């Protein structure tokens, strides 16, 4: 999370220092030539002039020497002030504000549970963050570059500036209590490494990884990724689906991404000991009349499988219900699914 030295800052300080040194050299050289001072006296005179300590002149100055001193005061103090301002700005942002942010994030993470971690705030990661923000979900961004961190600051997103593939940073992001992690870095090897690290630290975390190359998909799955997203494959399938069934795709997009709609599509996980744990769909509806339509049920650990849920289907802890219904109907069923 530490802010790194930027090339722009280094250049500003170096340029200012060089200007100040040049002014200093010109200063004592000028006094030696104009006022015929010794080297030591000229250096002393230049020093007290630039620092404006007010000791007074060593000897009476000539008219040219007085004008030279005025110019030296203006240029020298200006350069010195510029260096001090830059150093103060750096120290304030690097240490004071940096420490305050780290403490704030650490305090916030300690209170989080079932949050999301976004590794890499590129184009994909940025869209993930916007979707999670729209859904009012808690999330933390991890990125090592300065530009993504500035985006986080401008959007007031929690962030950690560091290497997302290291255990230290993942632990700092609260991976042991997180619900899911998105591996969206620019290279496939980095995403594979993040997946391995995430699963080693929290075997139960849900990992969604991005794959640029098609042959990386199997590697990410072997590393433990629960879902692998390939922009090329998804883009091709979506374009075909839009051409064949545009209305259906638009309808599903509306259900999944639009707020303030009458009906919605949702995923509900059954917790052990909840009111509908261990009874059939028919019995659950008769007892609680939630009215939402349970389209399908996925058993714990099962990948996506589309199968019709019948009235006699048993609801068990760990199952995930795919539900369609009005917002209040889904909300009622969600309350029945928790302990």
**CATH code, domain with 169:** 3.40.50.720
Average pLDDT (99-125) is 83
Which ranges in 3-62 belong to alpha helices (H)? 7-34, 39-51
> Is the pLDDT confidence value at 42 over 80?
yes
Q: What residues are paired with 117 via a beta bridge?
A: 140, 181
159 and 102 part of one domain: no
Residue 299: per-residue pLDDT: 82
For residue 92, the SS3 value is helix
219 and 152 part of one domain: yes
> How far is Cα of residue 147 from the mean position of the Cα atoms in its chain?
11
Q: Are 1 and 172 in contact (CB under 8 A)?
A: yes
271 and 224 part of one domain: no
Residue 104: per-residue pLDDT: 73
309 and 215 part of one domain: no
Q: Residue 18: give the domain boundaries.
A: 7-106
| Long-range pairs, 211-218, Cβ under 8 A, ≥24 | 212/187, 212/188, 213/188, 216/188, 216/191, 216/192
Q: What is the pTM of this model?
A: 0.59
Reported as a single tens digit per residue, the pLDDT across 50-101 is 877 767 777 788 889 889 988 888 888 887 787 778 777 766 665 555 566 6
Mean of per-residue pLDDT scores for the chain:
84
Residue 3: per-residue pLDDT: 43
Reported as a single tens digit per residue, the pLDDT across 274-325 is 999 999 999 998 999 888 889 888 887 666 656 678 888 899 998 889 898 8
**β-bridge pairing 263-269 and 320-326:** antiparallel
For residue 138, the SS3 value is coil
Of 87, 106, 125, which one is at a domain's C-terminal end?
106
Distances (CA, A) of 268 to 81, 133, 155, 245, 299: 61, 20, 30, 27, 12
124 and 140 part of one domain: yes
Residue 209: per-residue pLDDT: 95
**CATH code, domain with 11:** 1.10.287.70
Of 106, 124, 151, which one is at a domain's C-terminal end?
106
Q: Are 161 and 3 in contact (CB under 8 A)?
A: yes
Specify if 119 maps to a domain.
yes
d(CA 270, CA 300): 10
Residue 61: per-residue pLDDT: 85
d(CA 187, CA 122): 11
Specify if 137 maps to a domain.
yes
Residue 5: per-residue pLDDT: 45
For residue 314, the SS3 value is strand
Specify if 64 maps to a domain.
yes
Distances (CA, A) of 187 to 50, 87, 192, 212, 257: 52, 36, 9, 8, 28
Residue 2: per-residue pLDDT: 40
With bands split at pLDDT 50, 70 and 90, how would you rate the model's confidence at 248? confident
Q: Are 179 and 162 in contact (CB under 8 A)?
A: no
């Amino acid at each position: 999370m530490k802010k790194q030295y930027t090339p722009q800052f280094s250049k500003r300080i170096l340029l200012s220092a060089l200007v100040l040194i040049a002014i200093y050299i010109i200063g004592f050289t000028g006094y030696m030539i104009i006022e015929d001072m010794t080297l030591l006296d000229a250096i002393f005179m230049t020093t007290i002039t630039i620092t404006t300590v007010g000791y007074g002149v060593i000897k009476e100055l000539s008219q040219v020497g007085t004008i030279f001193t005025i110019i030296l005061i203006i240029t020298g103090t200006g350069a010195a002030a510029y260096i001090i301002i830059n150093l103060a700005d750096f120290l304030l942002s690097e240490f004071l504000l940096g420490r305050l942010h780290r403490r704030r994030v650490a305090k916030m993470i300690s209170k989080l549970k079932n949050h999301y971690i976004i590794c890499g705030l590129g184009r994909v990661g940025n869209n993930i963050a916007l979707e999670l923000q729209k859904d009012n979900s808690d999330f933390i961004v991890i990125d090592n570059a300065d530009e993504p961190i500035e985006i986080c600051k401008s959007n007031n997103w929690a962030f950690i500036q560091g290497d997302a593939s290291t255990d230290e940073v993942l632990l700092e992001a609260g991976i042991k209590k997180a619900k899911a992690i998105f591996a969206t870095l620019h290279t496939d090897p980095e995403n594979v490494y993040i997946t391995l690290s995430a699963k080693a630290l929290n075997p139960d975390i849900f990992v969604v990884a991005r794959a640029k190359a098609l042959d990386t998909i199997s590697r990410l799955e072997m590393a433990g990724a629960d879902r692998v997203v390939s922009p090329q494959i998804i883009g091709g399938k979506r374009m075909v689906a839009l051409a064949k069934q545009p209305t259906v795709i638009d309808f599903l997009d509306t259900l999944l991404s639009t707020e303030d709609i009458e009906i919605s599509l949702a995923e509900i996980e059954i917790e052990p000991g909840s009111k509908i744990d261990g009874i059939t769909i028919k019995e659950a509806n008769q007892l609680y009349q939630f009215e939402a339509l349970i389209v399908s049920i996925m058993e714990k650990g099962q990948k996506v499988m589309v199968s019709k849920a019948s009235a006699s289907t048993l609801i068990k802890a760990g199952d995930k219900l795919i539900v369609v219904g009005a917002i209040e109907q889904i909300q009622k069923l969600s309350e029945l699914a928790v302990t």
